[in-house]
Amino acid sequence: MSVDHYENFPVASVLCPPALRPPITAIYHFARTADDIADEGDASTESRLADLDHYRRDLMAVATGQAHSARWARVFAPLAEQIRRHALPVPLLADLLDAFAQDTRNPLYPDRAALLDYCRRSADPIGRLLLHLYGISDAQALRRSDAICSALQLINFWQDLSVDGPRGRHYVPESDRAAHGVPLADLAACRDSPAARGLVRELCAWARDLMHEGAPLTRQVPGRAGWELRLVVQGGLRILEKIAAMDHAALLRRPTVGAADAPLLLWRALLAGAAR
């Protein structure tokens, strides 16, 4: 299991409420396609940004009942229907595009606040869109959803340190890196050291705290959706456990959660559900 590339979406899952599968699938394909525009292939930054701009125009078109272009018809035809049927908050969809555009530039993040601002646009909208579909809108639930989604995004970053560094993608806040005395070049070269492991340990603790902050939401979301959310939370926490089990040497290899972990995740999700 990975928490990247929107794999934490409950798309086509047996646990996904059947009535919500069409809007969730439409949101997934919107986000996944935009992510691919920003990240896949060998197009230039300028070309990616131009495509994302056209993609945004199609979003704004369908949001106002106008026709979309033919280029991404398989994305925007179903999305237009779900926006109309479920009154999906379009600004949240637009926030995702802002984050994807930022990704094309591979910026450095000076501190945790800057990285959380990125998460606010790259991850938090997903949780808020799902809560909208579940009919949950109170402020506490939204804060907890943001905490879970930001935690999942951070966990993905620390899970992917051995992949992102060589690609020139650096999500470790500069303030954390400097505090541990880890040069940026060490992250780029995936150079393991006691200092690097200490850095990863602290970053994982940050993500874990955020996840626990949001976890009470799993007791508020009812039915199948609640089960789905509990499994997502447990999957994220399990990845942190895997990083800890390798003594936080995440610069050396990418830890994953697979089928062998399923019984444990199900058991933990069951316990979390029973705690209601």
pLDDT digits (tens), the chain, 276 positions:
333 445 445 544 566 778 889 999 999 999 999 999 998 778 899 999 999 999 999 999 999 999 999 999 999 999 999 999 999 999 999 999 999 999 999 999 999 999 999 999 999 999 999 999 999 999 999 999 999 999 999 999 999 999 999 999 999 999 999 999 999 999 999 999 999 999 999 999 999 999 999 999 998 888 878 888 888 999 999 999 999 999 999 999 999 988 898 899 888 888 876 665
Q: Is residue 78 part of a domain?
A: yes
Q: Is residue 204 part of a domain?
A: yes
- For residue 40, the model assigns a pLDDT of 79
Output the pTM of the full model: 0.92
Q: Is residue 5 part of a domain?
A: no
Task: State the total domains in the chain.
Answer: 1
Q: Is residue 266 part of a domain?
A: yes
Q: Is residue 1 part of a domain?
A: no
Question: HEC profile for the chain?
Answer: CCCCCCCCCCCCCCCCCHHHHHHHHHHHHHHHHHHHHHHCCCCCHHHHHHHHHHHHHHHHHHHCCCCCCCCCHHHHHHHHHHHHHHCCCHHHHHHHHHHHHHHCCCCCCCCHHHHHHHHHHHCHHHHHHHHHHHCCCCHHHHHHHHHHHHHHHHHHHHHCHHHHHHHCCCCCCHHHHHHCCCCHHHHHCCCCCHHHHHHHHHHHHHHHHHHHHHHHHHHCCCHHHHHHHHHHHHHHHHHHHHHHHCCCCCCCCCCCCCHHHHHHHHHHHHHHHHCC
Q: Is residue 73 part of a domain?
A: yes
Output the domain CATH number for residue 112. Answer: 1.10.600.10
Query: Domain of 168?
Result: 18-274
Q: Is residue 214 part of a domain?
A: yes
Q: Is residue 7 part of a domain?
A: no
